[in-house]
Structure 1
Amino acid sequence: MNALKEKFTPKTVKKAVGAIRDISKTLRFRIRTYRPNTEYCEDNSRFIIKIIENGTELMDVLRLRYQVFYGEYAYKTDLYGIDVDKFDTFFDHLAIIDKKTNKPIGTYRLNSTRFNKKFYSEKEFHMDEIKDLSGHKIELGRACVHPDYRNGATIAALWKGLGAYMSITDSRYMFGCSSIHSDDTFQTALIHHWLKGSGYLPKEYDCITPRGKFKDKKFEKMVEKTADERFAPFREAAVNLVPPLLLSYMKAGGFVCGTPAYDKAFKCYDYLTLIDRKKMDPSFVRKFLK
């Protein structure tokens, strides 16, 4: 760990951030001077699991996100190899770092109500019912894993970090946008039916709806169409279409709220997902939230 920390000097941070010209001077300054709201770090034989500590580590996370979101899914961008927005310098970032390369291979952006009162999810959803829940909450966002590390060990490390952050912030709820990286309305409608039929779409949260430009009438019509009996086999098989990360939330005891939002910029559907710590699967609590 000492060797890892030694390379993070004000000079190296300034050099790394200075190369990014397509973002404002203010944002470059905030990245360069970034500090987290809290601290956490532990490791195992393969990974370091931590809350990133400075601008250099933040740049590594932003580059990983760019590689996954823009490179893998071929989204267009004018940024020089980073995925960044105005929220990044105010929130915490969980990183899973490969000890062999000292580079992040998995990450989450974490926003705790202990430190912030504004949420990225509010851009897409009317979500007063979530905001009004008692107790501290954590908004999860920008989850991604390097394609070479998409396995159980990495997912377990991410859950380990999430569990630690919940404990540190004494939070009861986790929520955030879970993406289906496709603009295929037929496929997403089948997933929607499977979620509803499996009990992962409770009626009490139907009031949480996408905001104006994130509403998709085509999706709503497709849900009605695929409710027909002839689509029953496809609805039952839709579990195979559910993204692994979203499926892990459901297995942990979470659920989705209402209709998904359609993000035109990223060409994906986002479900607002909610997990109540008091209703989590006991095995997850024992393993990750000790």
Structure 2
Amino acid sequence: MAVAVRALRLPETARTPRVRLARSKADTEASLRLRYRVFVDEMGADIDDCAGGLETDAFDRHCQHLLVHDSASGELLASTRLLDGDVAQRLGGFYSESEFEMGAVLDRPGRFLELGRTCVASHARQGAVIAALWSGVGAFVREGNYSHLMGCASIDARDGSDRAHRLFAGLRGAELSDADARVVPRRVLPSPRGETCQYARPPLLKAYLRLGATVGGAPYWDENFHVADLFMHLQVANLCPRYARHFLHRPAATADRSPLAVP
């Protein structure tokens, strides 16, 4: 199934770094190659089908791929893929449904967009690059009139499950989805070893929470990628006013003009 590609209308401030949708096979392969470097080379993911140094799966050809390039060199710095709810329905479900039972979420009215396989080159994990990526996602959400943005925030679990258990236990009430919109992981985390270390929240988790997204439930244990996945759900109507201007490019309800940046 071919996916129609459209231009994203981004404000001037979003053009450095440059954000756009993949327009060719070469564009998409650049994203898959970056994913290989991050997920396989860096994080040691155990994936069978990685021919030619590309990390891919059956969903990729049905998705739009959002790219962030260095405006001077053209180097690809970050990417993510976007799966429309209508397309997912024709495919038999979202990627997230392979990890979570999520009927309570999908029963809600409105259009859904799934964000997946988000990655940033190791030398480019600064606020400007991640802010540019979110600006592109926001443009896509606005132009597609989506009511729900969802995806997973992954927690590195190569050293065991203690980090994920502790980060999930540390979530505050407002950071968790309502009881009637919870998801259930299809594979639960191994029991923690009982370490009491404090862990910093991953950048993607912090970015989702700052936007007003909530965590849908307990983490899913992804053995192949050596991560624990937290299901994230942003109801666009609940978007944090502080970031409305930067995410959806509309005036915020407050005077705060701080850019969306993930330390």
TM (norm. structure 1) is 0.76
Distance in 2 (CA, whole Å) between partners of 1:66 and 1:247 is 24
RMSD of equivalent CA atoms: 2.2
1:205–1:181 distance in 2 versus 1, CA, 3 Å: farther
Q: In the alignment, which residue of structure 1 is the partner of 2:60?
A: 88
Q: How many residues align?
A: 241
Report the equivalent of 2:128.
Answer: 153
Q: Which runs of 5+ in 2 are unaligned?
A: 251-263
* Alignment partner of 1:134 is 2:102: no
Offset at 1:279?
1.0
Q: CA deviation at 1:207?
A: 4.3
* Counterpart in the other structure of 1:178: 153
Q: 1:285 aligns with which of 240, 244, 248?
A: 244
User: Within 5 A, what are the aligned runs for 1:2-81?
Assistant: 35-40=3-8, 42=10, 44=14, 46-77=16-47, 78-81=50-53
Please name the residue that 1:267 is paired with: 226
CA distance in 2 between partners of 1:189 and 1:174 (Å): 24
Measured in 2, the distance between the counterparts of 1:207 and 1:257 equals 5
- 1:107 paired residue among 52, 76, 79: 79
Percent identical among aligned pairs is 28
Whether the aligned pair in 2 keeps the contact of 1:206 and 1:259 (CA below 8 Å) is no
2:179 paired residue number: 204
Partner Cα separation in structure 2 for residue 277 and residue 91 of structure 1: 21
CA contact (8 A) 1:35 1:55 kept: no
Does the CA contact (< 8 Å) of 2:9 and 2:139 recur in 1?
A: no
> Matches of 1:90 and 1:269 in 2, distance apart?
25
Q: Secondary structure at the match of 2:132?
A: helix
Amino acid at match of 1:38: R
Residue 252 of structure 1, aligned match among 211, 231, 252:
211
Q: Does residue 143 of structure 2 align to residue 168 of structure 1?
A: yes
SS in 1 for 2:217: strand
CA distance in 1, matches of 2:118, 2:180: 23
Q: Would the aligned equivalents of 1:135 and 1:172 in 2 still touch at CA under 8 Å?
A: yes
After superposition, the C-alpha distances for 1:129-185 in whole angstroms (9 at most, x for unaligned) are 121111111101000001111111011101110110001110011001211121422
8 Å contact kept, 2:105–2:182: no
Distance in 1 of aligned mates of 2:18 and 2:117: 19
Q: What is the Cα deviation at residue 35 of structure 1?
A: 4.7
CA shift in 2, pair 1:41/1:49, >3 Å = farther
1:33-67 deviations in whole A, cap 9, x for unaligned? Answer: x6544332656563221111111100111101111
Give the helix-richer structure, 1 or 2.
Answer: 1
Gaps of 5+ in 1: 1-29
Distance 2:29 2:178 in 1: 41
Aligned match of 2:255: none
Q: d(CA) in 2 for partners of 1:286 and 1:175?
A: 20
**What one-letter code is carried by the residue in structure 2 that aligns with 1:178?**
A
Q: Under a length normalisation based on structure 2, what TM-score does the superposition of the two structures give?
A: 0.84
Q: Distance in 1 between matches of 2:173 and 2:229?
A: 19
Alpha-carbon shift at residue 108 of structure 1 (Å): 1.0
Using the alignment, how far apart are the partners of 1:113 and 1:202 within structure 2?
20
SS at match of 2:170: helix
The runs of at least 4 consecutive aligned structure 1 residues that moved more than 6 Å come to none
